[in-house]
């Protein structure tokens, strides 16, 4: 039996040696490696500024604080995302206002944004879901009309591109206002964990750097490198959201191999589409002509009537790991009534159950989609095994449905 994991970070002796070098240097916390990683990442995406932090969650939290989100405010976003997207809004004391997704791209439907704008709206938090760029041009146009900042949750989109005014641009080059990335092991490149914030605003970048290090007026790198005694101060309440130099050293090596990783992912995604094209009832992901996905995940829509859990279990029984479709935050116990709103029910305190008509496409995507294994080291033999496992599981599920 072939064992196929859902994903696997692509690392080598280069990353191990980079970590070893930093460990033996005596400086392992935030320092020169972090600064170098920030510079190289900014150059890669084409952003004036990049600030490394401990995770994409902390990146999103700092981004919302920087654009001025405060208690009592509202932030327009999607429920159909990892729960951190909604959580960071609540960290700020604000209320998430969920809009539904485009069922084809699994991203925020721009046509629904204006109905969600109120006098309390302070930002739009869009998501480039599973590596597929959202319709950023439409979202930014609406945001500018209402003078709202746009924060991009680009956790899965390192290496993704968007056609912007006739030119292919990397996600992270500030077309909106701030973009936030993840280096979790399930993402395109990894530092074990960690995040990055890119922006064109010098003021916001300075705020990120102040807030990520306890609000310390003078970074410890400056104090340690000074020939004069320096006493730091703490003018604001900050956080410990720093990345370590060990992580940054690994990230610098990962960044070097990013083009290879993205290229391999795109090749495998194309091959999945070809191999699964004739599978009855199976919905395959589509890439808009203005987007180039990293294919951080390959998400398929199961045939109508399929038992999502049973199909996944059948595949797991023969060694193929899968994941259900992207979750919906509004269905979790941590999001009871009155902790969120949806675009169709502004002012009514949100829906009271996990079945919300105004988030129908989001719920259907969670219930009827499934993520297949995809990682750059994946062999064609492993991919063929996954395809056969899925087709066999669907056939078995269909037969059981007929019998019942």
The pLDDT profile of the chain, 404 residues, written as one tens digit per residue, is: 789 999 999 999 999 999 999 999 989 999 999 999 999 999 999 999 999 999 999 999 999 999 999 999 999 999 999 999 999 999 999 999 999 999 999 999 999 999 999 999 999 999 999 999 999 999 999 999 999 999 999 999 999 999 999 999 999 998 999 999 999 999 999 999 999 999 999 999 999 999 999 988 877 777 677 778 878 888 899 999 999 999 999 999 999 999 999 999 999 999 999 999 999 999 999 999 999 999 999 999 999 999 999 999 999 999 999 999 999 999 999 999 889 999 776 655 556 556 788 999 999 999 999 999 999 999 999 999 999 999 999 998 777 666 56
Helix axis angle, 245-256 relative to 32-45, nearest 10°? 30
SS3 133: coil
CATH code: domain 258-403 is 3.90.1150.10
Q: Which of 230, 239, 248 is nearest to 210 (CA)?
A: 239
Say if CB 143 and CB 116 are below 8 A apart: no
Give which of 104, 40, 138 is closest to 293, Cα–Cα: 104
Give residue 232's pLDDT. 81
CATH topology of domain 13-256: 3.40.640
Quote the pLDDT of residue 404: 60
The residues that bridge with 167 in the sheet, in sequence order, are 164
- 228 Cβ partners below 8 Å, 6+ apart? none
Give 13's contacts (C-beta < 8 A, 6+ positions apart).
none
**Is the Cα dihedral 54, 58, 64, 65 positive or negative?**
negative
Residues carrying CATH 3.90.1150.10, the chain: 258-403
Pairing of strands 121-127, 74-78: parallel
Return residue ranges of the chain for CATH 3.40.640.10.
Answer: 13-256
């Amino acid at each position: 039996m072939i064992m196929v994991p859902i994903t696997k970070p692509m690392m080598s002796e280069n990353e191990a040696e980079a970590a070893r070098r930093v460990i033996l240097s005596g400086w392992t916390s935030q320092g020169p490696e972090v600064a170098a990683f920030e510079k190289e990442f900014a150059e890669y995406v084409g952003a004036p500024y990049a600030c490394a932090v401990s995770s994409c969650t902390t990146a999103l939290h700092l981004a919302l604080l920087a654009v001025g989100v405060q208690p009592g405010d509202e932030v327009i976003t999607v429920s159909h995302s990892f729960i951190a997207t909604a959580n960071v809004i609540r960290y700020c004391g604000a209320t998430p206002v969920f809009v539904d997704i485009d069922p084809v791209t699994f991203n925020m439907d721009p046509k629904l944004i204006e109905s969600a704008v109120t006098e309390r709206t302070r930002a739009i938090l869009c998501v480039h879901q599973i590596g597929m760029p959202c319709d950023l041009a439409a979202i930014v146009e609406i945001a500018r009309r209402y003078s709202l900042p746009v924060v991009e949750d680009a956790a899965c989109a390192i290496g993704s591109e968007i056609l912007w005014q006739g030119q292919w641009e990397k996600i992270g080059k500030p077309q909106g206002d701030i973009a936030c990335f993840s280096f979790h092991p399930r993402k395109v490149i990894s530092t074990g964990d960690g995040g990055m914030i890119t922006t064109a605003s010098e003021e916001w970048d300075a705020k990120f750097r102040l807030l990520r290090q306890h609000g310390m007026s003078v970074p410890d790198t400056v104090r340690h490198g000074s020939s004069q005694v320096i006493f730091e101060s703490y003018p604001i309440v900050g956080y410990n959201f720093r990345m370590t130099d060990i992580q940054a050293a690994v990230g610098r090596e990962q960044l070097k191999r990013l083009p290879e990783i993205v290229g391999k992912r795109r090749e495998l995604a194309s091959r999945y589409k070809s191999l699964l094209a004739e599978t009855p009832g199976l919905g395959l992901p589509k890439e808009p002509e203005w987007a180039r996905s990293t294919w951080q995940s390959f998400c398929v829509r199961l045939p109508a009537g399929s038992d999502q859990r049973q199909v996944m279990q059948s595949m797991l029984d023969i060694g193929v790991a899968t994941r259900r479709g992207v979750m919906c935050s509004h269905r979790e116990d941590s999001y009871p009534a009155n902790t969120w709103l949806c675009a169709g029910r502004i002012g009514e305190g949100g829906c009271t159950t996990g079945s919300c008509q105004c988030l129908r496409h989001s719920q259907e995507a969670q219930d009827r989609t499934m993520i297949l294994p995809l990682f750059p080291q994946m062999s064609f033999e492993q991919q063929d095994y996954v395809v056969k496992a899925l087709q066999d599981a669907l056939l078995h599920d269909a037969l059981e449905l007929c019998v019942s």
